[in-house]
Amino acid sequence: MKKIYFTEFDSGKWKIYLAASDKGVVKISYGASSKFDFFAWLEDKFPGYMFEKNDSRTSAYASNIKKYINGKIKKLDIPIDLQANGFTKKVLTKLKKVPYGKTVTYGELAAMAGNPRASRAAGTACSKNPIPLVIPCHRVIAAGGRIGKYGGGERLKRKLLENEGVLGLKD
């Protein structure tokens, strides 16, 4: 039977839920996300899989995420198993390449993914990002230097960007 391994841990700032396949991380939840939502997503994306709590299989991922959140590393270079398709997958693949300390607007991200007129669709793709932090949707801002929305909440987004040296964003 196929398995998805999961863990939950405290980053020092937030409770984080993480799941991984044999290929890499498939889901990270924190902030406003609940444990119930985390497992509901896994059950939807991986029907028929067995979910196993396995801290040893996920410890390297958890350790890197803790270091990133606490400002000890600048890049989360961990394997992922992205569960997305179509334009969403294009957007998230391009977003993964936005460097630490840099931001892009939703329109710029849409253009990077091949459809410059699809800024709303790029925003929707960001809202569906199953692997935040590794695929850094917090680095996407609204036009005019506004912070924009974030699944973990505006305060958390601002904190992540401030950790990266991005300051002065408008509400």
Looking at the structure, tell me whether residues 7 and 54 fall in a common domain.
yes
Domain assignment present for 60: yes
Looking at the structure, tell me whether residues 62 and 91 fall in a common domain.
no
Looking at the structure, tell me whether residues 104 and 135 fall in a common domain.
yes
User: Among 69, 100, 116, which residue terminates a domain?
Assistant: 69
**Please, which residues bridge with residue 16 across strands?**
9
HEC readout, 76-136:
CCCCECCCCCHHHHHHHHHHCCCCCCCCEEHHHHHHHCCCCCCHHHHHHHHHCCCCCCCCC
Query: Which residue segment(s) compose the domain that 108 sits in?
Result: 86-163
**Please, which residues bridge with residue 3 across strands?**
50
Q: Return the active site residues.
A: 137
Looking at the structure, tell me whether residues 29 and 91 fall in a common domain.
no
Q: Give the predicted TM-score (pTM) of the model.
A: 0.93
How wide is the angle at C-alpha 153 spanned by C-alphas 149 and 156, nearest 5°? 110
- Per-residue pLDDT of the chain (171 residues), as tens digits, is 899 999 999 987 789 999 999 999 999 998 766 889 999 999 999 999 999 999 999 999 999 999 998 889 998 989 999 999 999 999 999 999 999 999 999 999 999 999 999 999 999 999 999 999 999 999 999 999 999 989 888 888 998 999 999 998 888
Domain assignment present for 76: no
